[in-house]
Amino acid sequence: MSRRDLLRRARGVDGLLTMLSDRVDAELLDACPRLKVVANYAVGFDNLDLPAASARGVLMTNTPEVLTEATAELAWALILACARRVLEGDRLVRAGRFQGWDPLLLLGDSLGGKTLGILGPGRIGRAVACIGRGFGMKILTAGRGDLKALDRLIRASDVLSLHVPLTEATRHLLGLRELARMKPGAILVNTARGPVVDEEALVGALRSGRLAAAGLDVYEREPRLARGLAGLRNVVLLPHLGSATVEARRAMALRAAGNLISALSGLRPKDLLPSPVHTRP
């Protein structure tokens, strides 16, 4: 629903179940004086103002764990589509330009023996790495706070997959300088949050050929794209489908509903988010 409708319809409620596109800030919290809990239908929670909620005694929850496999699978769909130029081949056939087998037609890259970099080795990052081992890839990982490991990861990865949450520390974590340090011909995949990457800088890196390809499921100003991104042939663009399986979305709904019921029953929700007032044990 629109922001206006959300503000109007949320007045007087005890609990809210929000989408990642809903901004839960001081304005919304002040419009709901009876509010006790916000259950976010997502694992990411950059749309939630945790300090503002804590100051008002409102609990906040998310839906971790249940979308790990779905998001990892989608990251790999993007990796394979980029490495083997799947969409370029699809467009060629649909346009009637396929003239038969050609030894040099749309040559891509093999993955065996290459280095898969995982930026953010949490649940999803580890699941992506596990699949990568099945392809015979070498695995490198780095957390967002380890600058030395991050630099090594950026320089060494043939495929770099992003799995960090969006915070002020991770906004534009991959900017012009970082993209310029990536291995020539590397592939970048982002199924985390769009603003982790400077999208304008990415367009430049793709246009110049510095990067072979990019696979994106999220965008810096979602749903808008940076100028020039949609016109590039070496980018695969998906409409935020990371958790879009029947199984994952059902599990997310049940998890969010369970968190709401627990909080409104006076119990501690399973997926309580940390704040200045309440922290995970």
Catalytic residue positions?
193, 222, 240
List, as one string, the DSSP characters of 26-89: HHHHHT-TT--EEEESSS--TTB-HHHHHHTT-EEE---STTHHHHHHHHHHHHHHHHTTHHHH
CA angle, 193 then 195 then 197, to 5°: 95
Report residue 92 as tokens. Answer: 């060629």
Cα torsion 228, 231, 237, 238: sign: positive
Dist. CA 173–CA 217, nearest whole Å: 17
**Residue 246 burial (C-beta neighbours within 10 Å; 0-12, 13-18, 19+):** exposed
CB 224 within 8 A of CB 199: no
Phi first, then psi: give them for residue 59, nearest 5 degrees: -80, 145
